Amino acid sequence: MPKLNLFAISGLIVTITSATLIVFVAKELKTNKKLWPYFLHCSVVSLWGIGSFFIGITKDPIYAGYIWKLAYSAVILIATLYYHMILSLNDVRRKKTLIFLYSQATFFIFLTLGGILLSPSKLIFNSIYYVQKNIFFNLHFLIWSLIIISGYIELFIFYKKSVHRKQNFILLIGSIVAFAGGILNHLAVYGFPIYPIGNFFVAIYSLICAYAILQHQFLNIRIFIKKSIIYSILISIISIAYLITVLISERFLQGLVGYQSFLISGILTFGLGLFFIPLKNAIEMLVNRYFFKGSPEELSEQIEKFNQEVQQREKYKLAAQVVGNVAHEIKNPLTSIRTFIEQFPSKKNDPEFMDKFHKLTCNELERVQQLSLQLTDFARPEELKLSEFDIHACLDDVLMLVNNKLKHQDIRLIKQFVPGPLTLTADRDQIKQVLLNLVLNAMDAMPNGGTLTVTTNIIVGANPRVRPRDGQTQGSAPTDNHQIQISVSDIGSGISPEHQKKLFEPFFTTKPEGTGLGLNICQRIIKGHGGKIEVKSDLNKGTSFSIILPTNDASESTQRGQHV
């Protein structure tokens, strides 16, 4: 069993604290891109912690040299990613500066991996094989320190100017603690008889960063979620401290008594584990009582209650948005009608005026009626009326409804269906409504003619079984756990990436006469069936909407009789 020294223990603690942050930050990366530098910064700190642990336990100087090359490559990146993190969290872009920083980091990493930056390691404090300095190491350490100090200066400036003063101040304090740890770790390289305990300071830095990000919403994570994350971090630290205490105590007893039996070692480790369990539980109770004001179960109840409050607030927000947009949509046609009515007494004998008045009134009232019908579909919780039907027959019905319009707009129709009937258990009327909406949208995208392609596929696992071409006879009806994919594609002008993000939002539309509710209703219907709707679009090339639905009627949503 490898002997754990303080350097190895500190590396283990750094790994745990940094890796815990990585897990939770990773969940936010899709919605908050500015967290990427912080995520990578935590990652390289964690890699350094892993390297420290293995450096601390190895007894082979050659093996230690290989580990140092990998671990110190992470150290080189720490400074650059720290500076990048500060800029990113404060929404500052300095492309040329970052290019220089990453270039120098890449250069020094190549020197490290090539065995130039680090001199061969030697045993210090009779327990650690530690690298030695050379001229290249001195140059790098100078630049590394200057980058960190520049980061402090930037952070202090942001602290003075930014509205996020408190979190920048806490990050500044945490960064100073970490830099002190980095200096302490480097002193042994320069021959100072000081044990490299700097990793403990780095772990404190990770905890301070966690506090700043979670407590002051750098990640925009709500208060109850933050508490659960902090709880997980603290309990992880307590558990690893418990494990380390047991192992160190067992090694101490081995050195004191002098036994060599593996069986005795295992029995004593087990006994010490039982002995320290009450202490571990007592610490966890103190954390629950004084920091979280409750047990993990009570914390879970708070989280659930908070989630319900968030959902209720979202409903109120949506309702306010709906009211505002409905008022706007109704106001426009009413204003037009009112304008004509005011002119009616003086122009009632004007045939041209009366003709315009008649057309405008009919059109605007039709628009209000359409909005009213769509609002009804949008608002009412309609229960699914499930039945088994052939989706191909449903598509044929939809295409028959628009057949005349296809000819009028000079649109060519291509059907690519899998062979034979394709059975689906769903609400036929709702699915038909969705398909008709998508087909009409595709036709609107090609006012001067084009090609409308309607495709059905069977998805087995992750791979769609596409309709065979050129007379081939592959394909079959779907079975349990398979999915049906229905795609409606056009060769119109396409949709910009900015608009694609808003397509399914209520009242978002690019059509002069549109209400912006159609696609939102479609999405709700498909989600109510346990499926999803996807869009792929390229500007000036066309758009494809795909509906993916489960084929087995035992899906969770349909079992509940879900409302849409």
Is the CB of residue 237 less than 8 Å from the CB of residue 252?
A: no
CA separation for the pair 228, 217 (Å, rounded): 14
- Mean pLDDT of the 348-368 span: 74
CA separation for the pair 122, 308 (Å, rounded): 59
For the record, the structure tokens of 53 come out as: 């642990």
- Mean pLDDT of the 554-558 span: 38
> 363-371, long-range: CB within 8 Å, 24+ apart, which pairs?
364/333, 364/334, 364/336, 364/337, 365/333, 365/337, 367/329, 367/333, 367/513, 368/330, 368/333, 368/334, 370/515, 371/326, 371/329, 371/330, 371/515, 371/517
Q: Which of 315-319, 412-416, 539-543 is predicted with the least confidence, judged by mean pLDDT?
A: 315-319
> So what's the pLDDT on residue 288?
54
Is the CB of residue 11 less than 8 Å from the CB of residue 52?
A: yes
| 3 state DSSP class of 414 | strand
Fold identical between 314-379 and 387-559? no
Q: Which of 123-132, 306-315, 390-399, 409-418 is predicted with the least confidence, judged by mean pLDDT?
A: 306-315
The CATH number of domain 387-559 is 3.40.190.10: no
- Mean pLDDT of the 495-514 span: 73
Give 359-413 pLDDT, tens digit per residue.
Answer: 777 777 776 666 666 555 545 556 778 889 999 999 998 888 888 888 888 999 9
For the record, the structure tokens of 413 come out as: 């129709």
What integer best gives the mean pLDDT of the chain? 75
Fold designation for 314-379: Helix Hairpins (1.10.287)
For the record, the structure tokens of 396 come out as: 């044929």
- Mean pLDDT of the 184-197 span: 90
Q: Name the more confident of 455 and 502.
A: 455
CA distances from 379 to 320, 371, 376, 389 (A): 13, 12, 5, 27
Global pTM exceeds 0.75? no
Of the chain, the percentage scoring pLDDT greater than 70 comes to 65
Nearest to 542 by CA among 427, 403, 441, 457: 441
Binned at pLDDT 50, 70 and 90, residue 326 comes out as: low
CA distances from 456 to 9, 213, 370, 451, 548 (A): 58, 47, 30, 17, 10
For domain 6-221, give the CATH number: 1.20.1070.10
Tokens 């029995």, located at residue: 267
For the record, the structure tokens of 422 come out as: 């394709």
Is the CB of residue 505 less than 8 Å from the CB of residue 511?
A: no
Q: Is the pLDDT of residue 70 over 70?
A: yes
Q: Is the pLDDT of residue 4 over 90?
A: no
Q: Name the more confident of 24 and 79.
A: 79
Buried b or exposed e, range 49-63, using 16+ CB within 10 angstroms: bbbbbbbbbbeeeee
Q: Is the pLDDT of residue 306 over 60?
A: no
